Structure 1
């Protein structure tokens, strides 16, 4: 990871840096002084990072500089002045519903591309991952967390809801009842619970986080790319399919793989 971040970045703006080392990309949140607090500019940077990923990339790692992954939305969004050149969230709430919906949809794009079937994405999470930070970690396929991790969904306590695509993966990972309790109370979820409930794939000491993520990325790259892409697509669609539909999807995917292996692909 350190070697990857020392490479010449393809993007380095608005608190987001993108570097690529072979088949692995690293997207780093680069405002540790503010615990990588998020803003519309940062979200546009994340969208641009996804757009700039070379086709050779198979694994994308998301990490935050400093002691925290991301402490969530920068509270400046809720001040009357908001951010320079951005609509204040207070003003947004006074505008037309259609306009508000379009603005939120544009913010959600920063959290969406991590689910692409041609990538496996890993969040390397240390310290605080609160609100938008929690949802950004949930946007990734896998989460490797440090022992000091503190997840929390604080939107409800602010009179809001989690709206950055985090609700569906949270329910899928921990179940409806626990997801409701986590969101409605805004309490912290620490490393032991995160691993036990499936939020975290792996928990390691903070000083081992980068090495553990690098090892996982290497393991993911060991299998042929097309087989991993087909498998991810099968698993992503499994929840919404009945058994017969899933069986048919498995047959179709395996047929494509076998034809490709013997040189009879379409």
Structure 2
């Protein structure tokens, strides 16, 4: 890894309770490297507790075209990447991938709601980054692909679980195994996109959504987000209990303020 990519081409901007995380490598369609995932994990690890919304976006005409092609080199001297990873002992390789996954999984951390603003290609790691977010706003030129299986690999940056939650078992199986492109209109129909807008309206639509997300009282917003997340895996009785407990806390806080 060269000195030029030690920041992973990730930049951040804070505006009050909103943190914008931008993949800033437009000349390479925001192709990702392990340094990108390390940088993303670092953002999550240092997240200010006052941040309520995280917006993830890509600079230029693509969200992210996926892995930097140099990572497919089998020769560590010419880029290392997957070849180097494949030579490691299995436990060491898995621990390294675990660290990469941390760059994606934090986007569903308690206390924040994450929004992916997606234009153009979101391929492989790019698609998985968009899927890692709670919400997705797609430009009408966007398309998502998970081509890992067609390359002899598997999606390993949290994409299988997040895709499954969004589209269900059979559709997730088909999208992953075929590696086909899911264009914006289909993404909206499947539930992968919350809304699809013209490219020129992407920024304004994201801004409107962020304003709506930050409007409710922070404690109520965070408690509700936690309930929605837990509902994905809880059985009804467990989820009902979680709702009761959360509501009692909200009521107690309201009473204490009156």
TM-score category by the smaller chain? over 0.9
Residues 72 and 130 of structure 1 are in contact (CA less than 8 Å); yes or no, is this contact kept in structure 2? yes
Q: How many residues align?
A: 252
User: Where in structure 2 are there 5+ consecutive unaligned residues?
Assistant: 1-5
Residue 83 of structure 1 and its aligned partner are, at CA, apart by 8.1
1:131 corresponding residue in structure 2? 124
Residues 138 and 169 of structure 1 are in contact (CA less than 8 Å); yes or no, is this contact kept in structure 2? yes
- Once the two structures are overlaid, the 10-residue window that deviates more, 159-168 or 45-54, is 45-54
Q: CA-to-partner distance for each residue in 1:36-71, whole Å, 9 max, x for gaps?
A: 000001111111222333222100100000100000
Residue 81 of structure 1 and its aligned partner are, at CA, apart by 4.1
Residues 8 and 32 of structure 2 are in contact (CA less than 8 Å); yes or no, is this contact kept in structure 1? no
Residues 77 and 83 of structure 1 are in contact (CA less than 8 Å); yes or no, is this contact kept in structure 2? no
Residue 243 of structure 1 and its aligned partner are, at CA, apart by 1.4
Q: Give the TM-score normalised by the residue count of structure 2.
A: 0.94
CA–CA distance in structure 2, aligned partners of residues 82 and 16 of structure 1 = 24
Residue 169 of structure 1 and its aligned partner are, at CA, apart by 1.3
CA–CA distance in structure 2, aligned partners of residues 88 and 201 of structure 1 = 34
Q: CA-to-partner distance for each residue in 1:176-221, whole Å, 9 max, x for gaps?
A: 1111111111111011110111000010000110110000000001
CA separation of 1:82/1:74 partners in 2, compared to 1, >3 Å: closer, same or farther?
Answer: farther
Question: SS where residue 244 of structure 1 aligns?
Answer: helix
2:9 corresponding residue in structure 1? 15
Question: SS where residue 136 of structure 2 aligns?
Answer: strand
User: Where in structure 1 are there 5+ consecutive unaligned residues?
Assistant: 1-11
Residues 144 and 209 of structure 1 are in contact (CA less than 8 Å); yes or no, is this contact kept in structure 2? yes
The alignment's C-alpha RMSD in Å is 1.5
1:9 corresponding residue in structure 2? none
1:151 corresponding residue in structure 2? 144
Residue 90 of structure 1 and its aligned partner are, at CA, apart by 0.9
Give the structure with the higher percent helix.
2
1:239 corresponding residue in structure 2? 232
Runs of 4 or more above 3 Å deviation: 80-84
CA–CA distance in structure 2, aligned partners of residues 88 and 186 of structure 1 = 21
The 5 Å alignment of 1:207-222 reads 207-222=200-215
Do structure 1's residue 54 and structure 2's residue 68 form an aligned pair? no
1:6 corresponding residue in structure 2? none
CA–CA distance in structure 2, aligned partners of residues 239 and 140 of structure 1 = 15
